Structure 1
């Protein structure tokens, strides 16, 4: 590397997907820069589950171990900074960081995740990832058979109700306002004796993120141990859109089976491109993206 600011690949996002992509590329002898701002979406989650060999480990510990292993490959560099802009060039791309640094690469991988938009409910953000959870495969075993809420409406409420009965029969749906469930959906839920409460929620009472009670706007309360919710989200990084990458109807970066975006030489992996938000899925997608980028480069260079 004659110029340390030029790389084969820049990976934006240095959590599980980005580090996995970095390992694949480092092992392929590619020069790689991983840029990460240090704010993973699961930073409040106390333990990671359903990831073989790492079940029950703290997410931060998994990430730190992964980073140490990836950086053993001396062609991989890690920068603590925030990527704020990207441009297409004749040789590939340039990325500008918040600190004002400029880097060039032939290929880009975005592993930037998404930013969850917290609802206007006091205590929700403090409980997010701890006792307000989104995925039963990640967290359901730890709250199995407990008194559990579903904060959702319409199709999402029905889907959660169907799925979560496998972990607990003590379920209650909170629509936080008028239900948008269809009569057919409501009938199906009623068959399984799952109450639907339409009161607006004012607060989640908790201690250090562990929920104990829902407080409604009419001051009534409901005791429970956990609540499932999937809040709205937005892309954590808008550079893919700046470069012209297509998004799906759900707001994810659109990719094919090989993690390619709609823009040549730009790839995306992890939560920003998949509704399956889990550590194991992010690692798998990152490894695939790294391998596919290297494969394309070998074909171009041959």
Structure 2
């Protein structure tokens, strides 16, 4: 197998978590390769959820500015490629991309993200991120006192309706689903209106929502619909490597420790693939933690220290003893 180059770390996924990690590793003067196709989860959103950037920034411009900044570091290689497979070989990880190149790295960071599984309702997917929204904590502020709807799309949906009812007149659309007596009583006590009929379609001009059509021939005016979708991992690489996978109410996540390392030594994970909640700030924090852990593991690697120790007359012997 011919290798194109060996890196200190390979990062699979170049969204907020991956690029943050790449920047921190680059500033530690580590050689990093980032593979990313440029289709992040937030590409549908009008605003970057959970970011402290200007309100009028969109996720594309925020990501592009991060990409441009990381590209200025001479030790970073950015590839517009997807990772097809990863193999562990003689202490390294060899990533094969779509072009058939084999790229080796001493550490591996998985940050390939997840994809939302949206309900199959006509008119919904094209409004996702604009007038059909995922997060009351981020988007709810703009809709104070304006009527909103919540679609029963996941186990978290009733909680969304409860949260929004603090700020807005809220309708909970069961979409033909069930609502037990206790939950119904709780929602009604918060003045949440419940519609049981299946949702037929959403309508409006462009990406804006104006009306919701129900199966019982009701047509209701509605400007904003919230839903918490389930998700799926964008790549099978973690499972193929043998990383432990957790299954939560919204989908699978990769299990990591406090340093973002998976159950496989020297394989790390960051971002939405480790969390049930999507948030840019948290994804960036995960990327930073992973980068610091990777840097430390490289700097204090026993073989690396012993080699430096031999060339420096025993200066690093203390570090080696700590690692034994």
1:154–1:64 Cα change, 3 Å: closer
Partner of 2:310: none
292-301 or 53-62, which moves further after superposition?
Answer: 53-62
1:176 aligns with 2:175: yes
Partner-residue secondary structure (3-state), 2:274: coil
Pick from 193, 196, 202: which aligns with 2:194? 196
Contact 1:151 1:229 (C-alpha < 8 Å) held by counterparts = yes
**TM-score, normalisation: structure 1:** 0.94
Partner of 2:275: 274
1:212 aligns with 2:210: yes
For residues 44-67 of structure 1, give each alpha carbon's deviation from its aligned partner in whole angstroms, at most 9, with x where no partner exists: 211225422444311111101111
- Write the distance in 1 (CA, Å) between the matches of 2:49 and 2:34: 25
- Write the distance in 2 (CA, Å) between the matches of 1:99 and 1:59: 28
Partner of 2:294: 293
Partner of 2:90: 90
1:162 aligns with 2:162: yes
How many residue pairs are counted as aligned between the two chains?
298
1:53–1:178 Cα change, 3 Å: closer
Contact 2:119 2:153 (C-alpha < 8 Å) held by counterparts = no
1:294–1:6 Cα change, 3 Å: same
Contact 1:131 1:225 (C-alpha < 8 Å) held by counterparts = yes
Contact 1:54 1:62 (C-alpha < 8 Å) held by counterparts = no
CA drift of 1:88 comes to: 1.1
1:103-182 matched pairs, under 5 angstroms = 103-152=103-152, 155-168=155-168, 170-179=169-178, 181-182=179-180
Contact 2:148 2:171 (C-alpha < 8 Å) held by counterparts = yes
Partner-residue secondary structure (3-state), 1:207: coil
Contact 1:87 1:243 (C-alpha < 8 Å) held by counterparts = yes
- Write the distance in 1 (CA, Å) between the matches of 2:4 and 2:72: 18
158-167 or 193-202, which moves further after superposition?
Answer: 158-167
**Please, what is the CA RMSD of the aligned residues?**
1.6
Partner-residue secondary structure (3-state), 2:291: helix
Partner of 1:261: 262
Partner-residue secondary structure (3-state), 1:252: strand
Contact 1:127 1:206 (C-alpha < 8 Å) held by counterparts = no
1:18–1:213 Cα change, 3 Å: same
Contact 1:138 1:278 (C-alpha < 8 Å) held by counterparts = no
Contact 1:49 1:56 (C-alpha < 8 Å) held by counterparts = no
CA drift of 1:188 comes to: 1.0
For residues 154-207 of structure 1, give each alpha carbon's deviation from its aligned partner in whole angstroms, at most 9, with x where no partner exists: 842331122222332x1000111132x321111111112211111111211132
**Larger of the two Rg values belongs to structure:** 2
87-96 or 12-21, which moves further after superposition?
Answer: 87-96
**TM-score, normalisation: structure 2:** 0.88
1:128–1:237 Cα change, 3 Å: same
Partner of 1:7: 7
Contact 2:154 2:229 (C-alpha < 8 Å) held by counterparts = no
For residues 237-271 of structure 1, give each alpha carbon's deviation from its aligned partner in whole angstroms, at most 9, with x where no partner exists: 11011101111122011111211111111111111
> Greater relative contact order: 1 or 2 (C-alpha under 8 angstroms, separation 6 or more)?
1
1:165–1:252 Cα change, 3 Å: same
1:154–1:265 Cα change, 3 Å: closer
